[in-house]
Structures are given as C-alpha cells and as structure tokens.
Structure 1
Amino acid sequence: MHKYSVRCPTCGEMQDPMSLICSKGHDALLRTFYGASQLIPRNIPGIWEFYDWLPVDGIIGEGTGKTVTYKSEAFARELGLSDLYIAFNGYWPEKNASMMTCTFKDLEAFPTMQRLLERQDRRIMAVASAGNTARAFAHVCSITRQPLLLVVPQNSVHRLWTLHEDTSSICLVTVEGDYYNAIELANKVASREMFVSEGGAKNVARRDGMGTVMLDAVLTIGKLPMHYFQAVGSGTGGISSWEASLRLIQDGRFGNVLPQLHLAQNLPCAPLISLWANNVADQSIVDRKCPKDMYADVLFNRKPPYSVVGGVRDALQATGGRMYGIDNAAAANARQLFEELEGIDINPAAAVAVAALMRAVEKKFIDRNDSIVLNITGGGMERLHRDYNLYNLVPDMRVSAHDPEAELKIVGKVSEKFKR
C-alpha cells in the first residue's frame, strides 16, 4: 500500500489523493487511510513528528510548529479537576511552543501547502479567512514563495500580520461584507484556470493537520481522553479530532472509547448550536445579521459542514457530543481566569472553549477525575509581540461583496501583481 489513500466514507471507493469530492457524487467528506497502522512519532521538528499520519510525501523544513500538551495544575485545581490537559497551540517559549502565528490554523496550512508543492502546482492558491487561517497561509507562503490570494472581511484585516518582512508572494483583498461573502468571492476566483482552492473542510490535509492536536494529546497522556473541548466556527476541528480518535482506536494501544466532543460557539451567532438543538439539516435558519458584537467573531461561519456525511452532526452523534453557547461576558471572564492561573495570554476563540469547560464542570457534565483535553486553539500573541518584530499585511485592494464586477477586479489585480 502507498503511504496513504483517500476514500469516500459512503461508497468506500478509493479517490484521487488530491480530490475534494467523491467521484460518484456522494455528499461526503473524503477520508484518509494510512499504511502505518500505529502512530509512531518521527524525530522531525514541528507537525512533521506525525508524518506517517499526514497525507504528504515530503516536508517543508522551515517554520512549522506543533501542539504542546501539558497537564494543568493551577487552572485544574481552581475547577476541581484532577486530570485536565491543555493542548496549547501558539507561542510560549517556556513550554517549547513555537507556533509563530499563534493559531492552530498553522496545522492546516503546512500539510496543505506541502501537497501543492508535491504536485509542482504553481497556480495561485485562493484562501478565504476571517483572519487566523489567512495569517497561517501567509506564513507558510512567505517561506515557500508560493503565490497566494487572501480574501478576508474588511473588519478582519487587523489580524493579518507576519514575521516575514518580504510579503511579495501575497495578494491581500479585503471585502466589505462578512466571512461568508469572502468565501463566496474566493470560490468564484478559485474556479478560474490560474487559481487553485485550498478546499476548506473538504481538504483531508487540513483536517488531518488539525487532527494532530489529538495525536499529541494522546501521546502525552498515554490514552484517549474521555472528553475533548474546543471552540469551533465551521466545526472542522471537531471533525478532525473525531477522525484522529478513530485512527487511534484502530492503533490498539490507547483505548477503544471515542472521546466525547464538547464544541462551543459564541452567542448569539452560533449556527451549529441552532442546527444541533433543532435536529435539522436546513442551514437557512442561520441569522444573516451575524457576526455582530461577538467576542470571537472568527468563530462565525454561515454554512458549516454540518449535515454532510462525516460532518459535524455525525461527529457529535458518534461521540455523544455536546454543544455550548457561550456569551461574551462568560468568554471574557474565562479568559481572565485562565490567563491569571496558567500564565499565558490566549485568543478570544480559545476563551470560548475555556468557558465551555467551566460550564460543563458547573453543570456536572463531567466528573472531577475524568481525563479531559482542552484545546487552546490560539495563544501567546501578546508574548510574541514583545519578542519579535511583526509586519502588518497591507491590502492590495478593497471590493464590495455586492459589486457584480468584484470577481473580475480581483483577477485583474492578482494578474497585475504576479504578472500572470
């Protein structure tokens, strides 16, 4: 068997390794199957430690970080928990955490970019983002010099910075609209000949990259945890943890019970909570006025991969999972408490996950001796700003989501910048 294969979970048929959809048209997230039946960490820096369970045939040697899992003391004691582990994704030198964009989106960007390089594909990658994903892809593209188009909402541009002074490989377009408007525009542009889409939740490299959070946690703990907490926008991180847990069960050394997923969103803009609570697949119920006054607006995605086979609904059902709606005040309080007790700053989205854990303890959804993994999806940004010179990405152009010529304008600007 090759290092890995990609198959449809509905029909079971093998697909082109780079495919994003089933060749028979099934509405399902394709899944990776690896030749290595057990997880054996490699002596390679960063995410490449999990090389055998990543859908790549090489590595990008520079700039990658990985999750750092450690057992909590002060915060666990505050909550009365005896077996709480923090999966930290960010910058924290004292913990050897070196994810230099301070977001676990790095875990998606590096394997996605490596696969593009393996295809010797010099098309321009088009990425839509509310900020964190854009920062991660800007980081890796500045290293590889792969041309990149970033399409982000105008109100997210403040999140776009990099450690790299030379950002000539990046074309940044801001959109007067929300994240979904940015996704729609990026998808239209990506359908053109000189562009390639990064694929979103459909991309197995993105999901398997995020799944390394669970891999690192299990290697640290020595077993699968009973509970897994994460704040989600699209919910792809929850899907990734579920898929990684399935592989770990097949490994045979870490237990045979799936961790219960505890996924959190920021009220009032919480599409996944509405879908799960109402037991429906109709995503038209999402409030189009969002995001508005959100503590963590990066968590809003108007069309998450919920009802697709292998999507969020399946992940929650398979694990007996729960969804949490966290308001701004609860998130802010959780952030302050965590930072005081653990000694590192965290991003707003991570604070939503912390608040969900606090809610679960309060409601007695978990027992004090249960093994728990809390995914801090981003942190250490304040510390990084103190330690490094950062460069803000400057937009190349601004378009309106309602401009019928927006797509053509973006293509023109990109062609001009990269001389295509």
Structure 2
Amino acid sequence: MFVKNLLCPKCRATYDSEKVIQLCECGAPLLVTYELDKVAKTLTKDELAKRPATLWRYRELLPVRDERNIVSLGEGMTPLVRFERLGADVDMPELYMKDEGIIPTGTFKARGAAVGVSRAKELGIKTLAMPTNGNAGGAWSAYCAPAGIRAVIVMPKDAPEMNRKEIAVTGASLFLVNGLISDAGKIVARAVKKHGWFDASTLKEPYRIEGKKTMGLELAEQFGWEVPDVILYPTGGGVGLIGIYKGLRELQAMGWIGEKLPRLVAVQATGCAPIVKAFEEGKKESAFWENAKTCAFGITVPKALGDFLVLDAIAKTKGCAIAVDDAETLKAQKMIAKREGAFICPEGATTLAAAMELRRKGWISRSDKVVLLNTGTGLKYPETVDCNPPLLQPDQDID
C-alpha cells in the first residue's frame, strides 16, 4: 500500500493512517494521501488492463494494506453507456451515462462501503454506526455481514421501504427516526459517544471517499485516459463528486491524464439545494436547508459536512451547481427509460434534467462529451412510476 498519511484539507494537519481517527481536531473531514510518485513507478496502464474488472484493480490507490482484509461483492467497473437516441433528442450528441444501478446493492454506495468496511476490518473495528437516507445503510450493512462487523443503522421513517428491508435482511441493527438524516446523525453521534462505536457517517471516516473516487478512475480509463468535458453528479453529501475530483487529481499527479479536467456539476433538488444556494451566493460553505423535501430522497441532505470540498471542486474545474424540481426529475426518469431502456433512480434522473437546462442556456455546448452519473437502480423506487394497465379476461383479445 502506498498511503502516506491522513490530511486535513482545512488546516493541513496530518495524522497517522494506522490509527483509528475520525475527524481532524479542527472538525474537518480527513483525506487519504498517497505516495503517487511511487505508484506511478510501480503500476502501468498495460498492467492495469490485465486485472479483474472491479474497483480493486486500482489497489495501489486504495487504503487497504493486506489484501486478505478486502471485503468484496464484485463491485466496480460499471458500464459507460452512450445515449445516442436520447442525445439526439436533447441536442447533446455526445451524451453518456455511467450506470451505477447494476453494482452490488443497486447503488454507487457499494463502492464506499466496500473500501470503508474493508479498512474498518483491517483496523479492528467491531461495531460501526451511521445515519442514512437508505442506500448507504443498505450497502454498509451488506458489506459488514461478511466482514463480521456489527452495523447500527439509523434512517428517517420516510425513507424507501426497500432500503429498510435490505438493511434488516443482512442482520444489521436498524432504527427509524421521525425526522431527516440530520436528525438521524444526531442520534448516531450520541450513540457513538456513549458506546465507543466507530462513526461511519459521511466523511466522518476517511475511507468511504476512496471507494467513491474509483468512479473517476474508471471514467478516465473508459474514455481511453481522456476525460469528458462535463460530469453531472446528483449531490446530497457530495462524497462521490469530491471523490471523482480527488481521483482525477491523483491521475494527473501520476501523469496518466493531462491538464484538462471535466467541469463538475453538482445537481440538487429545488426542495433541498444548500450547495446550489451557496454556489450562487459565492460562498465557500452552505447553510442548513430548512424543511428539506424531494422525491429524490437520497439527496435530501440539508447540510453536508464536506460542502466546502464540493464547492472547491466545482470552482477548481470551472463547474457549477444547479437545482431541478421534482416534476422535471420524474419527467427525465421516464425519458431515459423510454428512449434508452434504463430504469434509473430519481437522483440519477436529476442529472438529465440539469443537463437539458444547461444545454438550453448554452453552458453545455453541442460538441461537449457529457456524462450523467446515475447513482442507482430505479427498482428501489417503484413509487416514482404510475402503472395501471388494463385488465383482460382470458377470452378477451387485444384491440
């Protein structure tokens, strides 16, 4: 393993990666740093191409020291699909979707769980706790099962029922809260302090982001080490966007990609858009969003711990932040399904609605290579689709 240390992006303090550390003393999340010059001398693109198609193909850029501690369900290397018919419809001929809906547990959360749980196992963690809007809880519960780690999950009572069931079936300890993920986070914080459990909340441990960054590594590899022009990402906690940016910067430092980086777009819902508001106001951090609500439940995050990192990634790549309403999200979800056959989650559908708006404004040009990051399968959100087919009797014919 080529890990150097854990670095605070705010105060620049460093910590020993072999100790169980959650946040910097200043309260900011910590990021894993690597000896990238040594990685570049050790790993080649030709060697990488021969490896199995999982995220662990990038093991030199991941924090697990001993491969025996890796907990894997085959996650990673999800398809990059070109949307030719839909692209023609919306005047974006170079429109692509990175489809995380086919990954284990059905969402991109499996990436963070795979690396986070593997590292927790390596560090000797016995019990971890986390708040979730649903999908992260399902993923971490699934990976904790083969790792032999107890998972304590707290989620809003209004989260999708499917998430509740997938957490329960893996044997995790599930609790519901009459509130939002921010309320669940407060309960977890009290439990962690009382019982001494490991806090696996978003960015309160350094390793989830390392799994998420592999989306960026894969995109670079899938485009032949030439990055696209724009990546649109549905943003709640924003770990995936932060991770994609981190992964691409690491590839730059290794000399594997050039100076160009894709413009990163944080997509939120109008019913919960703290990052968008901060971006529009030119601020470096967001304010808590009151009365947050959207059909894209996974991005209902009123205040993200890593908001300053999201806003920094947007600024450094000349990207932007944009909010779309639920009606446009559900319309986009149906458009993708009808034109391309992909039933994606509403969070992922926000990216098409946003791309269409940015194309109308001219922010996205016709020649841009545009990637929609779909974070999960629509099968977890059956309530987003109306289906009332006519009922036939056995002796009836179809007219």
Query: Shorter-chain TM-score: which interval?
Result: 0.7 to 0.9
Answer 1 or 2: higher relative contact order, Cα 8 Å, separation at least 6: 1
Q: Is the 8 A contact 1:64 1:110 kept in 2?
A: no
Cα gap change, 1:81/1:166 in structure 2, threshold over 3 Å: closer, same or farther? closer
Contact persistence 1:32–1:55 (CA under 8 A): no
Question: Match of 1:174, as an amino acid?
Answer: L
In structure 1, C-alpha distance between the alignment counterparts of 2:86 and 2:28, rounded to whole Å: 42
CA distance in 2, matches of 1:2, 1:231: 31
Distance 2:160 2:345 in 1: 16
- Indicate yes or no: 2:159 matched with 1:151: no
Equivalent residues of 1:272, 1:306 under 8 A apart = no
2:367 equivalent in structure 1: 369
Instruction: Give the letter aligned to residue 46 of structure 1.
Output: T
2:102 is the counterpart of 1:111: no
Q: What is the CA–CA distance in structure 1 between the aligned matches of 2:305 and 2:266, rounded to whole Å?
A: 14
Of stretches 338-347 and 48-57 in structure 1, the one that deviates more from structure 2 is 48-57
Task: Provide the residue aligned with 1:275 in structure 2.
Answer: 278
**Equivalence map 1:202-221=2 (5 Å):** 202-221=204-223
**Cα distance 1:2–1:229, how it changes in 2: closer, same or farther (>3 A)?**
closer
Q: CA–CA distance in 1 between the matches of 2:15 and 2:320?
A: 32
Q: How far off its partner does 1:202 sit?
A: 4.1
Deviations 1:318-361 (A, max 9, x none): 11111111001111111111111221210010011121111122
Question: Residue 111 of structure 1: CA displacement?
Answer: 0.4
**Cα distance change, pair 75–50 in 1 and its aligned pair in 2 (3 A):** farther
Match of 2:58 in 1: 50
- 8 A Cα contact 1:6 1:33, kept in partner: no
Task: Give the direction of change, closer, same or farther, for the CA distance of 1:289–1:133 in structure 2 (3 Å limit).
Answer: same
The answer as to whether partners of 2:284 and 2:312 remain within 8 angstroms in 1 is no
**Is the CA contact (8 Å cut-off) linking 1:232 and 1:263 kept in structure 2?**
yes
Aligned to 2:246: 243
**Preserved contact between residue 82 and residue 95 of structure 2 (Cα < 8 Å):** yes
Paired residue type of 2:299: L
- 1:162 Cα offset (Å): 6.2
CA distance 1:176–1:118, change in 2 (3 Å): same
For 1:212-231, list aligned pairs within 5 A: 212-222=214-224, 223-231=226-234
Superposition RMSD in Å: 2.6
Shift of 1:45: 5.0
How many residue pairs are counted as aligned between the two chains? Answer: 369
Deviations 1:20-47 (A, max 9, x none): 3335x37464342244136753724532
Please, which moves more after superposition, 197-206 or 113-122? 197-206
CA deviation vs aligned residue, 1:200-253 (integer Å, no higher than 9, x gap) = 224332112111111111101111122111111122222111111211222323
Provide the rounded CA distance (Å) in 2 between the counterparts of 1:63 and 1:237: 19
Secondary structure of 1:303's counterpart equals coil
Is contact 1:10–1:26 with CA below 8 Å preserved after alignment? no
Question: What is the distance in 1 between the residues matched to 2:6 and 2:284?
Answer: 26
1:77 to partner: Cα distance: 2.4
**Residue number among 196, 199, 203 corresponding to 2:198 in the alignment:** 196
Task: Provide, for residues 280-324 of structure 1, a one-character-per-residue CA deviation record: whole Å limited to 9, x for no partner.
Answer: 35644x342222xx121221212213564xx12211211111111
Report the residue type matching 2:131 in the other structure: A
Structure 1: segments with no counterpart, 5+ residues: 92-98, 385-420
Corresponding residue SS for 1:75: helix
* Aligned counterparts of 2:132 and 2:34: Cα–Cα separation in 1: 28
What one-letter code is carried by the residue in structure 1 that aligns with 2:370? I
Please name the residue that 1:409 is paired with.
Answer: none
Aligned partner of 2:300 in structure 1 is: 300
Structure 1 CA distance for aligned equivalents of residues 30 and 44 of structure 2: 23
CA–CA distance in structure 2, aligned partners of residues 110 and 194 of structure 1: 23
Whether 1:325 and 2:335 are equivalent positions in the alignment is: no
User: Residue 140 of structure 1: CA displacement?
Assistant: 1.0
In 1: Cα distance, 2:11 partner to 2:24 partner: 9
More off after superposition, 209-218 vs 136-145: 136-145
Aligned to 1:393: none
Q: Please, what TM-score do these two structures have when normalized by structure 1?
A: 0.80
Secondary structure of 1:240's match? helix
In structure 2, relative to structure 1, the CA distance for the partners of 1:226 and 1:105 (3 Å cut) is same
Q: Identity of paired residues, percent?
A: 23
Cα 1:2–1:213 shift into 2, 3 Å = closer
CA contact (8 A) 2:157 2:176 kept: yes
Unmatched segments (≥5 aa) in structure 2: 383-399
For residues 31 and 317 of structure 1, do their structure 2 counterparts lie closer, same or farther at Cα, with a shift above 3 Å needed? farther
Give 1:76's match in structure 2, choosing from 87, 92, 96. 87
The offset of 1:11, in angstroms, is 5.5
Q: Is 1:345–2:338 an aligned residue pair?
A: no
Q: Contact (CA 8 Å) 1:20, 1:30: kept in 2 or not?
A: no
How far the C-alpha of 1:73 sits from its partner, in A, is 2.1
- Indicate which of 124, 128, 139 corresponds to 2:142: 139
Contact 1:9–1:31, Cα closer than 8 Å, also in 2:
no
Query: Does the residue aligned with 2:304 lie in a helix, a strand or coil?
Result: coil
C-alpha separation in 2, matches of 1:131 and 1:88: 19
Q: Structure 1 residue 63 and structure 2 residue 73: aligned? A: yes
Between the aligned partners of 2:195 and 2:143, the Cα distance in structure 1 is 23
Q: Which stretch shifts more, 212-221 or 70-79?
A: 70-79
Aligned to 1:416: none
Asked if structure 2 preserves the Cα contact closer than 8 Å seen for 1:207 and 1:240, the reply is yes
With over 3 angstroms needed to count, the CA separation of the structure-2 counterparts of 1:252 and 1:337, relative to structure 1, is same
CA contact (8 A) 2:269 2:325 kept: yes
Task: Tell me which moved more, 198-207 or 240-249.
Answer: 198-207
Does the C-alpha gap of structure 1 residues 53 and 70 become closer, same or farther in structure 2, counting only changes over 3 Å?
A: farther
Partner of residue 312, structure 2: 314
> 1:376-400 CA deviation, whole Å, 9 max, x = no partner?
111263799xxxxxxxxxxxxxxxx
Q: Is the 8 A contact 1:139 1:162 kept in 2?
A: no
